[in-house]
Structure 1
Amino acid sequence: MIYCLTGKLLKKTLDMVVLSCAGVGYLVQVPASVSSALPAIGHEATLYTYMNITENDVTLFGFATEEQQACFKMLTAVSGVGPKVGLAILNVMTPERITLAISAGDHKAFTAANGVGPKLAQRIALELKDKVGKGLAEGITLGDVSGGGAPAGNLSQAIAALTSLGYSPSEAAQAVAKADPSLPVEELIKLALRGMAKGR
């Protein structure tokens, strides 16, 4: 298993880069967001990788951060989510946004990615909810998203309260994530409501 590669960028397109490491050029599939954030050709870069081995192919997928790498592994563990769909999701959502959508049960957020229909989106949110809720998503947890310090229960309660007020789970999760994580549930709700009122 190749965990990461550090080398000189030889080639770069929207969905693929070639990284030269110790004289070997590795072709790595990447999300467009990663490709655009990489330095210019000829400069050194590091990619956190995932190797996908099938009967006819060995493909390397690369990510800018370990969070993206862990998120990709988590997503592709869901039945029906292959590497292409995993990349498509990471093209339109950050690991933090994915975690918030899963924890809030906002399956509709995933339909923004190419190849993700309503049924698959529901399966992703359902299959990963426990994993994210228990903080088993390899370091991607609600606590990390909010900067740490707040128990996931407080955030979940605040999100649930905002959802019951008519906000979408996604809106509620994003608003809560902006608040100070050390605050009690009531304060989180108050600040989230204030923030959403300003944004409208």
Structure 2
Amino acid sequence: MFYYLEGTVALLQQGLVVIDCGGVGYACHASQNTVGSLKMGARAKLLTHLNVREDIFELYGFSDEEERSCFEMMIGVSGVGPKAALSILSVAPPDRLALSIITGDEKLLTQAPGIGKKIAQRIILELRDKMSKEQLEAGASAVPAAQAFAAGGANHTQEAVAALMVLGYSQAEALAAMKGLDTAHMEADEIIRQSLEEARGTVRSRNT
């Protein structure tokens, strides 16, 4: 129903942003990373997710597509609601979160208030399993990242490919974004960061 909101930042609070769009103020729950990227009175564009449940009608706002993708995947995990997903995104930006899921780093997830070890383990297991199924359905074979993790043989490039898939990119898009990078001499987090810059630049050029 709402894909994004664009307007003037009218209010910034912990976990909440109000965007004035033509005289109407839309309240969006947001991570501290998103809140921290905005300025009062400045123009802003937030991608959104509408949560409708019984008598609940809430908007959630995100500074970029990767954050929204992580949020939507996490609320698809059993026992993880929107507030828990925002709590996690407030302590870890999408690139770090995706890598922690791929590498099984539950400690990063448990830094978020209200997220215990069991929930962190469930997020990691369910999202890894989801990624594996998507690879199989797509017939992906160039870098069988999820299978490599199961076998304990993933390298930094495979970790980066899998992390980008958690962020909503296909395996083909991830590999295309890495083209030209000297991945053999880079850590996974640096591969992810540079690949995201390339992927975002490609999207922007397509939209202009």
| TM-score above 0.5 | yes
Kindly state the Cα deviation for residue 133 of structure 1 after the two structures are TM-superposed: 4.8
List alignment gaps of at least 5 residues for structure 2: 136-141, 164-177, 191-208
> Structure 1, residues 83-141: CA drift from partner, whole Å, max 9, x if none?
110000000111111211111122232111111101111100000003345667xxxxx
1:134-149 alignment runs, 5 A limit: none
- 2:66 paired with 1:84: no
| Separation of aligned partners in 2, 1:16 and 1:99 | 24
The letter for the 2-side match of 1:94 is P
List alignment gaps of at least 5 residues for structure 1: 137-149, 164-172, 196-200
Q: 1:132 to 1:183 in 2, by over 3 A?
A: farther
Q: In terms of Rg, which structure is larger?
A: 1
Q: 1:135 to 1:103 in 2, by over 3 A?
A: farther
Q: 2:18: which partner in 1?
A: 18
| Separation of aligned partners in 2, 1:161 and 1:92 | 28
Q: 2:60: which partner in 1?
A: 61
Kindly state the Cα deviation for residue 161 of structure 1 after the two structures are TM-superposed: 5.5
Kindly state the Cα deviation for residue 32 of structure 1 after the two structures are TM-superposed: 1.2
The answer (yes or no) to whether the contact 1:16–1:30 under 8 Å persists in 2 is yes
The answer (yes or no) to whether the contact 2:50–2:58 under 8 Å persists in 1 is yes
1:1-200 alignment runs, 5 A limit: 1-39=1-39, 41-133=40-132, 151=143, 153=145, 160=152, 187=184, 192=187
Q: 1:147: which partner in 2?
A: none
| Separation of aligned partners in 1, 2:103 and 2:6 | 36
The share of aligned pairs that are identical, in percent, is 38
Q: How much is the aligned-residue C-alpha RMSD, in angstroms?
A: 3.4
The answer (yes or no) to whether the contact 2:33–2:93 under 8 Å persists in 1 is no
TM-score by length of 1: 0.69
TM-score by length of 2: 0.67
